[in-house]
Amino acid sequence: QPKDSSSESGSSKPAGSRKSPTPLVAITMGSESDRPVLIPGTKILEELGVPYEATITSAHRTPERMVSFAQGAASRGIKVIIAAAGGAAHLPGMIAANTRLPVIGIPVKASVLDGLDSLLSIAQMPRGCPVATVAINNSINAAQLAARILANEDLHIRQKLEDYLANQTEAVERQAERMET
């Protein structure tokens, strides 16, 4: 059961405070081999002004470390967890089982099965234990989804996100114009 709901006072700064470097997003992965998949997402978090931390917590190789990480996240001020894993990708689900925070799962394409194994492992959670699953290897969408959640309360992140989305739209419109001329 999640054990982090009783000590919210660990987050002493209001959401939206830009003075604190306290991470709002915690990224975790099952193995260092997952790291290249997460790099594009970290760049998005940086672009959107979202403070984050990153670590390895393996559901299979370091289960106690994983539980400790998940159970302590909310009291450290974390608002969203991004968890990436490949193969028998139990990590995001087990993180969700140990926190009340929203968990975004990234299925990592491991060496076989093209990541379908990871996708199904992460998406097919039982009722009551949700993991918001993004597309295979898509850390950009995981980061954006985390920013969208934070933007409900954090005006700084909201502004950056709105600028980002407007730029994205303009870029496609420019591409369409070039194609049509």
The site string for ligand RP5 over 90-129 (x = CB under 6 A, - otherwise) reads: ------------------x-x-------------------
Which residues have C-beta within 8 Å of that of residue 178, sequence separation ≥ 6?
Answer: none
Q: Which stretch binds ligand RP5 (CB under 6 A): 29-37, 62-70, 123-131, 143-151?
A: 29-37
Closest to ligand RP5 by CB, 60 vs 156, is 60
Spatial separation of the C-alpha atoms in residues 150 and 170, rounded to whole Å: 24
Spatial separation of the C-alpha atoms in residues 5 and 139, rounded to whole Å: 27
Spatial separation of the C-alpha atoms in residues 179 and 92, rounded to whole Å: 41
Spatial separation of the C-alpha atoms in residues 20 and 1, rounded to whole Å: 30
Q: Which stretch binds ligand RP5 (CB under 6 A): 9-17, 64-72, 83-91, 145-153?
A: 83-91
Q: How far is the CB of 136 from ligand RP5 (least distance, A)?
A: 11
Residue 30 interacts with ligand RP5 (CB under 6 A): yes or no = yes
Quick one: which of 77, 87, 92, 107 contacts ligand RP5 (CB under 6 A)? Answer: 87
Residue 55 interacts with ligand RP5 (CB under 6 A): yes or no = no
* Element housing 177 (H / E): helix 155-180
Phi/psi at 136 (nearest 5 deg)?
Answer: -55, 130
* Element housing 53 (H / E): strand 52-56
Residue 66 interacts with ligand RP5 (CB under 6 A): yes or no = no
**Which residues from 148-167 bind ligand RP5, rule CB under 6 A?**
none
* Interaction site with ligand RP5 (CB under 6 A): 29-31, 33-34, 58, 85-87, 108, 110
